[in-house]
Amino acid sequence: MAIATLPVKGGVVHRLGTLFHSGTAQRARYHSHHPRGGEERRTATFSSRSNINGMSICHASAAGSAAMEIEHVDFGERSYPIYIGKDILDQGELLRKHIPGKTALIVTNETIAPLYLDRCVKAITEDGRIKADVVILPDGEEYKSVHVLSQIWDKALECRLDRRTTFVALGGGVVGDMTGFAAASYQRGVNFIQVPTTVMAQVDSSVGGKTGVNHPLGKNMIGAFYQPQCVLIDTASLDTLPDRELASGISEIIKYGLIRDAELFVWLEENMDRLLARDPEAFTYAIQRSCANKAEVVAEDEKEGGVRATLNLGHTFGHAIEAAAGYGTWLHGEAVGTGIIMASDMSKRLGWISSELDERIKKLIIKARLPTTPPEEM
């Protein structure tokens, strides 16, 4: 069933009812502060029901460099940071301190490699301690298979990489999911790092440890829960993202606004044009807020036994659309956007949400330039 009710403190909240249950929604307090250099920045600190993850702010030490934001995912001894900032891929120490051994395997695809591979290799190897090998996969959801995944294992074995190696996922959600699963299974588990380069990966798939590949009978049905050592989000990578990919990722930001963050939903209604125009400040805020929401959910429920199921809003219908159309025909976020509208319509019919909220959801999906109806063949 695509829509469910989940118990929360103080009662029951419908998955699409966050806007009408403001007492359970995550709150944000806005303030301005002056980082080094006197430039005023608008940031947010978060308070949550479980009080697990507070947004902490730190600044790059180099004079004149932009601020870097850090969110933490709390898994006890397996906790890890999410670094968010512009051009932070060039701050190699952020990656190297999470690589305990002397080798790394960078996994990317044919689209991302010409854009960011050299910078990633330099960041990892420039101090001379770590040797990096590379495997370049074909680009596209249709290649998210065990057959293509074997190229990662093949390269690792050819290079005789041991258990102290680290796999580095440089790319979007497909690369991240496949690299994570390869790391989870290579020699029964090696470290891995996420360096997401798409909106979809930055706000959702790189955080939380879901890894895997598709099967002809179902999307993401072969995989594992396996957490990275860190996530490094260089927001400058969005400058090279095609418009269609950009819009696709925004569907996941909308999802957070519906399932737990009413104020984010309202902000999206007012600022969608800024996101589509790639406004750096707007995107940094949206990524931060999304990561804070995702971090809190997965820290509370790592393996989807309860509240994490809310993160699947729109995905039940969306996965059906992807499978019916053929993997790669629809982008994942496009299918999720349509899936959210279908879930919203179903919720309205069941009396779980109002017609007013259903209409606001449809308007926001349209404003994000996402498709609103499934393929005609369905």
Catalytic residue set: 188, 210, 252, 294, 304, 308, 312, 315, 319, 332
Beta partners for residue 212, in sequence order = 223
Beta strand ranges found along the chain (DSSP E): 5-8, 11-14, 27-33, 41-47, 56-59, 67-73, 80-85, 103-109, 131-137, 166-171, 191-196, 210-215, 218-225, 231-234
C-alpha closest to that of 14 among 24, 4, 22: 4
Q: State in Å, rounded, how far the first CA of the chain is from the last one.
A: 18
Quote the crossing angle between the two packed helices 243-259 and 262-276, to the nearest 10°.
170
> What is the C-alpha to C-alpha distance for residues 218 and 236, in angstroms, rounded to an integer?
34
CB half-sphere exposure, 165, CA atoms < 13 A? 27
Tokens of 19: 């806007």
Residue with tokens 């952020």: 94
